[in-house]
Amino acid sequence: MRAGCHRPVPVGSESEYAGLPAPNNFIARMKAVASGARLPGAVFRFLSPGSLLIRFLLCWMAVACPFARAAAPATGDGPPFTFSDRLGRTITLSATPQRVVSLAPSNTELAFAVGAGERLVGVTTYCNHPAAAVDLPKIGGFAARTISIEAIVALKPDLVLAGDRNQRAVVDALERAGVTVAAVQPRGWTEIQETMRLLGRIFGTTETADRLIGSANARLQAVAARIGTVPPAQRVRVYWEVFDEPLMSAGPRSLIGEAVTLAGGVNIFADLKEEYPQVSVEAVIARDPQVIIGPASMRQRSMSLEALRARPGWALIAAVRDGRVVILPDEPVTRAGPRFAEGVELVAKALYPALFPDAGEETSP
Amino acid sequence: MSKAGAWTRWRAGWLFPALVGLLGVAILLSLGLGAVKVSPARIAALLFDPGAASGSEATILWQLRLPRTLLAAVVGAALAVSGAGFQGLFRNPLADPFVIGASSGAAFGAAVAVLLGFDVAVRGLSPVPVAAFAGAIGAVSLVYALAGLGQTASAGTLLLAGSALGTMLSAMVSFLMISGEQPWLHILNWMLGGFSGRSWLHCRIALPPLLLAMAGLWLLARPLDVLVGGDDAAQSLGLPIRHARLAIVAVASLATAVSVSVAGVIGFVGLIAPHIARLLLGGGHRRLIPASALLGAILMVCADALARSVLAPVEVPVGIITALLGGPFFLFVLRTRGPRFT
């Protein structure tokens, strides 16, 4: 399996674009199986060899590789220093980087948050937050296949902050081109804090990073304190719809799953191992969620109370019956960045409006 | 019409009731299996006793599984019949319902609709299937026109034109998916096919044309038989080849286009069901077509039931199941019975 990690292919990958959260291993795997299993069928023909499905297979191999060590906590203060990134690579920085390129929206947000925003010279087309990131030069999309190595090299960066394993091919290519790359994109809240600390150290803004982490944890504790007053039996059952076709939810191992748990919700798909499982309609109806949450980017598609009511069988679900369908802004919850605590607050407000009266009204669909 | 004919007739005598029975069992199984299991007795109660029909079990059965199972059965049958038609028309055992570009045309139509933002469901029906249908019909018509079928062209030209246009359209779909990263998941999901979320509305829209197309192809059984013998033989028998071909292509493509637009591209059923039917009953299309329909329906209903239940509550795209289920079975049949395509 390790070998798959080093395949120099343009790993076009899962959900690595704005609306959707990170890799969906299951679907990738299934697509890979499908590509191998259909012999003379239509899909084989119209997705020519070497095109998408094949790429999914390779991508899955990349995803299946054991996740490398977390970025090691650095000791000492500021460069020169050595650390290991999320792909297990060892990186030595001799001086504080002055020209930085970010290959993920979450990296961009984190860099700005620790006070290194003015050192960014290139970002992805999906880096839309904070506002200052929007006008920076673009090096391509978030998906590895849309990132331009040439554009990055032309910016003469002294550090590239890469995304996750799906960008492995880009990382390798940049390394060959002599560019210093560190894969720092976090996945859960623990990793977000690690990355903040690491970036603080890299840019010599350790104090800012520590302050950020402190205030975010304080906000999370404040939420936990209010949620603590709700007895376990009265916790709200939540269905989070990541996507409608295919019907896709978020498992407990995803950032969304983590946010739901921290906000005191009971994820109806807490038993699933996949981060973003494709679920069956029947299961949603049978598990009868009391609140349905969808990201704002889905609003244009089908996330509204009346749209849900029109889906066959959905009118029976408690959340639809009681009109508790909530649209939340995507990024604070789906993007592993500095706004995570804000995202957890939003979810908590959606689940327990009575506990958060100061928080303004529940966003109604 | 010697001993072999009598043998086939005798076999057809018990085979058709057996297939119908099997389809019944498959449907019952499909109604019972899924994220929520329902026993056969309970199914009967829910179906026939209106008093029992409330609660989530009844909703799941009536609003989800029944329309979905029905649609799977008819789409499976239609793809199988269309596959039988194309295999006969092209005298090619590798032909399937998508052989002259219907699937790539549909995928192109769907991709364009999604990218233009026309993917919001209105009253439970999304414009994507409509675009897919238009794409499929458009692609097939274009292939037919390009092949200049009326003039000199043989079935082989049609096949080649279909394959060329199909490749072009797939390249365009890939290009569209890469240039706009956002909606690829929706498009890809649609291309993989499935019956998740299909409602009575889809049944009402798709079943009439599918049943009509199947009946139409059955009526063309005789011309198909003649065409399998070769163009010269057909000509000497006085068959208006050009009209017969056009009719077969039109009807089979209608079945394919409606199937693809309502359930996405589901491979394998349309390829193997006719082969199994041919192995069981011989090549005569009068029996081959209804037998293919029954086999296609059985296969698709079973595949959809498994798609819902193997990893429940996770759902697997049905095309994966049809290939995993149908592939080995088909190879086994081939191995034990030998190729008998005539």
Average pLDDT taken over every residue of chain B: 84
φ, ψ at B159 (rounded to 5°): -60, -45
Cβ-Cβ contacts under 8 Å, A10 against chain B: none
Query: Are the beta carbons of A43 and B177 separated by less than 8 Å?
Result: no
Q: Name the residue with higher pLDDT: A132 or A365.
A: A132
Interface test mutation site (partner B, options A17, A38, A145, max chain B beta carbons within 10 A): A38
The winner for highest mean pLDDT among A128-137, A141-150, A291-300 is: A128-137
Residue of A nearest to B170 (CA): A46
DSSP A1-25: -HHHHT--S----TT-SSSS-S--H
Number of H helices and E strands in chain B, helices first, is 15, 0
pLDDT at B293: 97
Share of chain B above pLDDT 70, in %: 90
pLDDT band per the 50, 70, 90 thresholds, residue A52? very low
pLDDT at B181: 56
The tens digit of pLDDT for each residue in B133-183 reads 999 999 989 988 888 755 555 778 888 888 899 999 989 988 887 766 556
pLDDT at A87: 92
Over 70: is that where the pLDDT of A362 sits? no
pLDDT at B91: 85
Residue of B nearest to A269 (CA): B313
Burial B101-137 (b: 16+ CB within 10 A, else e): bbbbbbbbbbbbbbbeeebebeebebbbbbbbbbbbb
Q: Compare CB distances from B94 to A12, A26, A40 and report the shortest one's residue.
A: A40
pLDDT at B51: 66
Q: What is the CATH number of domain A229-359?
A: 3.40.50.1980
CB-CB contact of B161 with B146 (8 Å): yes
Average pLDDT taken over every residue of chain A: 79
Over 90: is that where the pLDDT of A304 sits? no
> How far away is chain A from the Cα of B193, in angstroms, using its nearest Cα?
10
pLDDT band per the 50, 70, 90 thresholds, residue A13? very low
Q: Please state the rounded mean pLDDT for residues B27-35.
A: 88
Interface test mutation site (partner A, options B30, B65, B189, B195, max chain A beta carbons within 10 A): B189
Give the CA distances from residue A219 to residues A191, A235, A333, A339, A361, in Å, rounded to whole numbers and listed in that order. 17, 20, 14, 11, 19
The tens digit of pLDDT for each residue in A307-337 reads 888 888 898 899 999 999 999 988 888 899 9
Cβ-Cβ contacts under 8 Å, A301 against chain B: 119-121
Choice among A260-274, A295-309, B272-286, B301-315 with the minimum mean pLDDT: A295-309
User: Tokens representing A225?
Assistant: 């304190």
A270 contact B CB<8A: no
pLDDT at A358: 65
Over 60: is that where the pLDDT of A297 sits? yes
B4 contact A CB<8A: no
Cβ-Cβ contacts under 8 Å, B59 against chain A: 285, 313, 316
> How far away is chain A from the Cα of B240, in angstroms, using its nearest Cα?
30
pLDDT at A220: 96
> pTM for this one?
0.77
**Residue range(s) in chain A whose domain bears CATH number 3.40.50.1980:** 81-209, 229-359
Tokens 């029905």 — which residue? Answer: B70
A20 contact B CB<8A: yes
pLDDT at B138: 93
The tens digit of pLDDT for each residue in B95-119 reads 888 888 888 998 899 888 877 876 6
Residue of A nearest to B96 (CA): A41
Q: Compare CB distances from A278 to B64, B120, B315 and report the shortest one's residue.
A: B315
Give me the helices (H) in A145-280, please. 149-154, 168-176, 189-203, 206-227, 255-262
A42 contact B CB<8A: yes
Q: What is the CATH number of domain A81-209?
A: 3.40.50.1980
Delineate the domains of chain B, giving CATH numbers in brackets: 3-337 (1.10.3470.10)
Query: Are the beta carbons of B267 and A12 separated by less than 8 Å?
Result: no
pLDDT at A133: 93
Q: Name the residue with higher pLDDT: A180 or A296.
A: A180
Nearest partner of B46 among B38, B190, A161, judged by Cα: B38
Which chain B residues in 34-73 lie under 8 Å from chain A, judged by CB atoms?
34-36, 56, 59-60, 63-65, 67
Q: Please state the rounded mean pLDDT for residues A23-29.
A: 37
Beta-carbon contacts of residue A110 (< 8 Å; ≥ 6 apart): A184, A186, A192, A195, A196, A199, A337, A338
B341 contact A CB<8A: no
> How far away is chain B from the Cα of A141, in angstroms, using its nearest Cα?
8
